[in-house]
Structure 1
């Protein structure tokens, strides 16, 4: 146990030393004695901790008494927290300590909120230096269906009828039971609220994970008055998007809800009533992703028919309810598709070729042909080599899960005939011992970490930079 509690009065937490600082009384430098070790920093650095913290008290004590304050705490842990104040990042030496010790010390000084910011900082993500660092075990026999991450770095995992959440430090987990037999769509709305849906259970459920309570159920009123199952969920800062399909599978739609006004219905877009053999209209959107740079919602759908797999990728103007761009998929329809706001492109893995390719936003109106990574598409042999492959974007990279292997693709700028040409190069991820395994089923990202799940496994792999993290 620590010698003092956080609620201890200031005079018992630290005391001024008997000697005065040397020539610093009129400067910006503050000297602190922690456990017998002297630290020097600036007044501006201490104020970054915020008011009503021990760091602000140290600043005030030094400023008023012009004496070196003494804190009876671990100087090594103090050094880590001081580095967080200085840089906004955890230093590499933090790996030498148990994370719980760092969290406990941060709470004592009143800056545990800064640790959350460190772990959710995307600038700490180093794509080419990722290694498998730990395994999050779920227990039970249910396979993992979908994962998502929150802004504060926590991880949400659906397995069977349950949702398990791990806190930002990946140390504490809690599980809630839902009304679904199995969850197919999961989206974090805040640190403790999620939206969940299933393809065989009516309605989108808004769930409070802390209380384990159903807050609200959102449904779509279709013409046949049948159930409305959820095919995909997406969100923007303003809206929650939900792709519904009627229980009879003869109609589908995308509903738009206001996330800041109790999930009030804002509008309905992409409504299809199916008549005859109109395959294009019978495909509900199976992936939704908001693209803030162009203020459009990507809705992707695919369907297996007599002539093979076909589909479409539509970019919707939510305000007008009109389609801004559309890409029709036939010869090498996507196994998975994503869109990158940073790279201004839409990416796919072809279900037949198994190859990754992209379409540049700047050329999407005039040229909807796919540009394959490496410049050429390999010949297709009649096999669906991309079946089950996953693709996701994060920052300036695109990540592909092909069977058990992981690839990272980055843009390389090339100049040909005086014009800039976009080229993407692929690299395998991980050390030799990390490579391989069951087929990748989910990829998720949060701050400095990547999360991976695999077929028939009840655990989540955590990948992070070998030079960062805990």
Structure 2
């Protein structure tokens, strides 16, 4: 019909795709696609489904959480990266909120260093062990972000957020080298005792010892 704009139907986003959220008293408007990008089991995905089928779309869904951190996490879902405003919060604050919403894996990917950047050795001022604190070697694991640290005769493990997961006391007085060789298992070497010594970090048991030969 004359006078109609043929682009109106394609340029107008259906209102049913938009969702209003009230997070800690601050209003947000986003789409079901953005909320569901956190995964089907995330709280935000579940809320988007409930909002579409059981909620008046004109009324925002209320979430009693920090709105400023939510704003950063919503930006993460939109662009797969954290905005500059996220630097105002500690990693632990971001992780706590991401865990609540069920999008911790997305945050983990965003916080991971670039493969070309590698691990920042200055982080060891953060994870320095309280006992036998001189770090002799460490092994950073790409697959899960954990860091295995040798200090004195002990092995300490930190998760991707540099949270201490556990410490094992070995039979060695000093560990020169350490490598994780499997889930929860590390091989260590010492200049004071020949051989390769394998420890289970979960149990603290010495799994085996291999002797080097010429």
Question: CA offset at residue 99 of structure 1?
Answer: 2.9
Q: Give me the CA root mean square deviation.
A: 3.1
Aligned to 1:204: 196
Q: 1:126 to 1:187 in 2, by over 3 A?
A: closer
Matches within 5 A, 1:158-237: 158-172=150-164, 174-189=166-181, 192-214=184-206, 216-217=207-208, 219=210, 228=211
Tell me by how many angstroms 1:134 deviates: 7.2
In structure 2, stretches of 5+ residues that fail to align are 1-12
CA displacement at 1:206 relative to structure 2: 3.5
User: Higher strand share goes to which structure?
Assistant: 1
SS at match of 2:138: strand
What corresponds to 2:43 in structure 1? Answer: 54
The 1:91/1:207 distance shift into structure 2, 3 A limit, reads farther
Residues in 2 aligned to 1:81 and 1:192: alpha-carbon distance in whole angstroms: 31
Alpha-carbon distance in 1 for matches of 2:88, 2:182: 31
Deviation at 1:135, TM superposition (A): 1.5
The structure with more radius of gyration? 1
Match of 2:19 in 1: 30
Name the structure 2 match of 1:145.
136
| TM-aligned CA deviation for residue 106 of structure 1 | 1.6
Preserved contact between residue 150 and residue 191 of structure 1 (Cα < 8 Å): no
After superposition, give the CA deviation of every residue in 1:300-344 in whole Å (9 maximum; x if it has no partner).
xxxxxxxxxxxxxxxxxxxxxxxxxxxxxxxxxxxxxxxxxxxxx
Partner residue of 2:103 out of 111, 121, 130: 111
Q: Report SS of the residue matched to 2:50.
A: helix
Q: Relative to 1, partners in 2 of residues 1:113 and 1:162: Cα closer, same or farther, differing over 3 Å? A: same
So what's the TM-score if we normalise by structure 1? 0.37
Q: 1:218 to 1:44 in 2, by over 3 A?
A: farther
> TM-score, normalised on structure 2?
0.75
Q: Go from structure 1 to structure 2 and tell me whether the alpha carbon gap of 1:36 and 1:144 turns closer, same or farther (over 3 Å shift).
A: closer
Native 8 Å contact 2:156 2:164 kept in 1: no
**CA separation of 1:124 and 1:50: change in aligned 2, threshold 3 A:** farther
Please say if residues 20 and 29 of structure 2, whose CA atoms lie closer than 8 Å, have aligned partners that are also in contact: yes
**Greater RCO, 1 or 2 (C-alpha within 8 Å, sep 6+):** 1
Aligned length: 197
Contact 1:150 1:189 in 2 (8 A): no
SS of alignment partner, residue 85 of structure 2: helix
Cα displacement string for residues 168-214 of structure 1 (whole angstroms, at most 9, x for unaligned residues): 22243532111223222211245633222334435433333233233
